[in-house]
């Protein structure tokens, strides 16, 4: 049972936070503010998962939900009354989150290689989406905080994080237009921002 495992909660928060700043390091104080939203999500999310399930307590207090602390207070297990619900949500949620982590890592490697060479990166995953690292972040937060282990805060935080990093992505694109001009404008015209298209939109094809 996860409840009361505060030592594990601290360790996981430290590890996940290190990964966040390793692959999505902020460049300015405004970006630190956006990263702070994700940091707050990480702390609150794992505090609920391994510490005290505040969401379950809230539902029990105001909606009369019986508390049995099934699966450490996982919401799906509580609502459906079976640990199987937690297992299904865990498999689906981790699959989504792992896909997101892969995007973040691949995008980070490509953009840092391109920055050292002073060129615009348009190949690999960047030929499918313009901001794969942010797409990956969205998938991680959605897979963990909405599908696998939903809490009141994580469900609220997900759209806030999406909006915050969408604003950041648009700001970065203005900087890229200033640096690469028509080359980036053509790239932006052909490649979607966050969600890849199955056939249209690949670089070099009309939108």
Please give the Cα distance from 186 to 184 (Å, whole number). Answer: 5
pLDDT band of residue 23 (cuts 50, 70, 90) is confident
Give residue-wise pLDDT tens across range 145-163. Answer: 999 999 989 999 999 999 9
Q: What's the pTM?
A: 0.85
Q: How does pLDDT run across 82-121, given as a tens digit for each residue?
A: 889 889 999 999 999 999 999 999 999 898 888 778 889 9
The span from the CA of 38 to the CA of 187, in Å, is 29
- Give residue-wise pLDDT tens across range 37-77: 899 999 999 988 887 877 877 777 776 656 565 556 788 88
Tokens describing residue 96 = 């989504």
Residue 110 or residue 198, greater confidence: 110
User: Are 77 and 85 contacting, i.e. CB atoms less than 8 angstroms apart?
Assistant: yes
**Residue 201 pLDDT > 60, yes or no?**
no
Q: 176-205 burial, b for 16+ CB within 10 Å, e for fewer?
A: beeebeeebeebbebbbebeeeeeebeeee
| Inter-residue contact 130 to 193 (CB < 8 Å) | yes
Angstrom distances, CA of residue 48 to CA of 92, 125, 174: 20, 34, 38
Q: Residue 206 above 60 pLDDT?
A: no
- CA angle in degrees (0–180, nearest 5) for 16-197-111: 45
Closest CA to 81 of 71, 91, 92, 93: 71
Question: Residue 71's pLDDT is what?
Answer: 54
Average pLDDT of the segment spanning 199-204: 44
- Rounded-to-integer distance, Cα 198 and Cα 97, Å: 21
List, in sequence order, the alpha helices (H) in the chain. 6-23, 29-50, 54-63, 75-80, 83-117, 132-142, 152-180, 182-190
CATH 1.20.120 for domain 6-68+77-190: yes
């Amino acid at each position: 049972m996860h409840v009361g495992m505060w030592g594990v909660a601290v360790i996981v928060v430290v590890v996940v936070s290190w990964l966040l700043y390793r692959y999505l390091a902020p460049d300015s104080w405004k970006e630190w503010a956006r990263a702070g939203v994700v940091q707050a999500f990480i702390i609150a999310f794992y505090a609920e998962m391994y510490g005290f399930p505040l969401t379950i307590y809230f539902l029990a207090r105001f909606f009369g939900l019986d508390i049995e602390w099934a699966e450490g207070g996982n919401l799906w297990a509580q609502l459906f009354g079976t640990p199987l619900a937690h297992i299904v949500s865990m498999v689906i949620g981790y699959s989504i989150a792992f896909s997101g982590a892969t995007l973040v890592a691949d995008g980070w490697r490509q953009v840092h290689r391109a920055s050292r060479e002073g060129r615009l990166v348009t190949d690999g995953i960047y030929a499918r989406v313009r901001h794969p690292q942010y797409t990956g972040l969205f998938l991680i937060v959605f897979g963990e905080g909405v599908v696998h282990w939903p809490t009141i805060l994580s469900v609220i935080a997900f759209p806030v994080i999406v909006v915050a990093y969408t604003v950041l992505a648009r700001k970065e694109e203005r900087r890229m237009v200033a640096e690469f001009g028509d080359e980036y404008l053509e790239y932006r015209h052909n490649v979607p921002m966050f969600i890849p298209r199955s056939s249209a939109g690949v670089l070099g094809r009309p939108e």
